[in-house]
Structure 1
Amino acid sequence: MTLQTWWLFVVTVFFISATPGPNMMHALSRSVQVGFRRSIAAMAGCISALLLALVLSVVGIGAVLVAMPHLFEVIRYAGAGYLVYLGIKAWRASDDPEQPEAQVEGRAVMTPFMLYRTGFLVGISNPKLLLFAAAFFPQFIDHHQPVLPQFGILVVTYLFSDGLWLTLYGLGGRSLSRFLARRPVRRAFNRLTAIVFVTFGIVILRAKA
């Protein structure tokens, strides 16, 4: 892989990562709910899911999903269902601006592990990521050179780009929280978050493998 090819990959994934999606919306909403510092755990979950998906695509799981469409369908329905579930939770979330932290079913304050777990589930809920990586990464690989080191460089680059944008969205959520001091504004934000997550779920559900 030449330096020119790598730079082309950098520019491509920079704009791919910037595109608003479930991960970015989750980072934004978590930052509003629990503050930027605590939302880092959720971002770490999203990044971990991305790393797992990229590694699995490298070892050929994407090809397995193509060869076994029924398995892909099961994963797709599960992912779409989870995003819709998050949308319902966001719709029903408290609009009290004095509530400092998100609650888990009204029982307990979310721990860093809970934030991480939710971020991971959001990140892994789109099985299309496996197919995308399996089809996208090889375009930048020089098969006349060792393949694994090149995949390693591409994976690290992708993770860095996605992590950068997650951080920027999280910082945006911290700034946005200042404007959500009124109940109607926070309620509108919760409703918008819910609509976005449900929309992503429907898009995944309607997409064909």
Structure 2
Amino acid sequence: MTFHLWSMFFIAAFLVSATPGPNMLHILSRSVELGLRGSFPAMFGCLCGLLTLLAASAVGLTALLMALPGAFDVLRYAGTAYLFYLGIKAWRAPVEPSDHHEEMIVAVLSPWKVWRVAYAVAVSNPKAMLFAAAFLPQFINPAAPKPPQFAILLATFGAIDVIWYFTYALGGRGLATHLEKPSMKRLFNRFTGGVFVGFGAILLKSKPA
């Protein structure tokens, strides 16, 4: 892989990762709830989920999904259901006026549970796998060994996503200062819940290319 090809991939991946999606919204909301440090397991969970999808596309799982009738639809419906669940959960989330609300949430949610939910968010969209299958090969030199090239692309994409995770998490901490009033927090919860449901509706209408 030439530096020119890698730099083109870096620019494209940077712009793609900047686009708000379920992962970024989830990290933003976790940062509001748990603080910047408390959102670290969510960042790691989303990163693991993303790398799972990218690695799966690299080894040809996407081709298998396309070959098996109904396989994509099964994953699509499962991902939609999970996003709907997250949306309803966020919409109905209780609003606590206490100054210790953040500490109370941290005490209830273990880092493992935060990671697990974030991982599920990241892998619940099979459309991302299909996107990766169409996106990554454009930057692969067919005349050179493919595994090292895929490894470089996956590492680059993951590093870029981490940058944007921190950006959204820091934005969440800035937003948290404006959500001290229960009415504003309730509005934020319902907005994020509605967006998750919207992502689910988009996924439900998506079709493999």
Which amino acid in the other structure matches residue 93 of structure 2? Answer: A
Q: Is the counterpart of residue 110 in structure 1 residue 109 in structure 2?
A: yes
Q: Which residue pairs with 1:180 in the alignment?
A: 179
Give ranges in structure 2 of 5+ residues lacking alignment: none
1:34–1:102 CA contact under 8 A, matched in 2? no
Rounded to whole Å, the distance in 1 between the matches of 2:55 and 2:205 is: 26
Which amino acid in the other structure matches residue 83 of structure 2? Answer: L
- Given the two structures, how large is their TM-score scaled by the length of structure 2? 0.95
Q: Which residue pairs with 2:152 in the alignment?
A: 153
What does 1:10-49 align with in structure 2 at a 5 Å threshold? 10-49=10-49
Q: Which residue pairs with 2:206 in the alignment?
A: 207
- Given the two structures, how large is their TM-score scaled by the length of structure 1? 0.95
> 4+ residue stretches of structure 1 with deviation over 3 A?
101-104
Which amino acid in the other structure matches residue 112 of structure 1? Answer: P
Rounded to whole Å, the distance in 1 between the matches of 2:145 and 2:97 is: 54
1:33–1:102 CA contact under 8 A, matched in 2? no
Deviation at 1:167, TM superposition (A): 1.0
2:33–2:105 CA contact under 8 A, matched in 1? no
Rounded to whole Å, the distance in 2 between the matches of 1:43 and 1:149 is: 25
Identity %: 50
Q: Which residue pairs with 1:193 in the alignment?
A: 192
Which amino acid in the other structure matches residue 151 of structure 2? Answer: G
Tell me how many residue pairs correspond in the alignment: 206
Give ranges in structure 1 of 5+ residues lacking alignment: none
Deviation at 1:103, TM superposition (A): 5.1
State the SS of the aligned residue for 1:100. Answer: helix
Distance 1:103 1:74, change over 3 A: farther
CA displacement, residues 8-34 of structure 1 (integer Å, 9 cap, x when unaligned): 100000010000000000000000011
Which amino acid in the other structure matches residue 24 of structure 1? Answer: M
What does 1:7-156 align with in structure 2 at a 5 Å threshold? 7-98=7-98, 99-101=101-103, 109-156=108-155
Rounded to whole Å, the distance in 1 between the matches of 2:44 and 2:151 is: 19
2:34–2:105 CA contact under 8 A, matched in 1? no
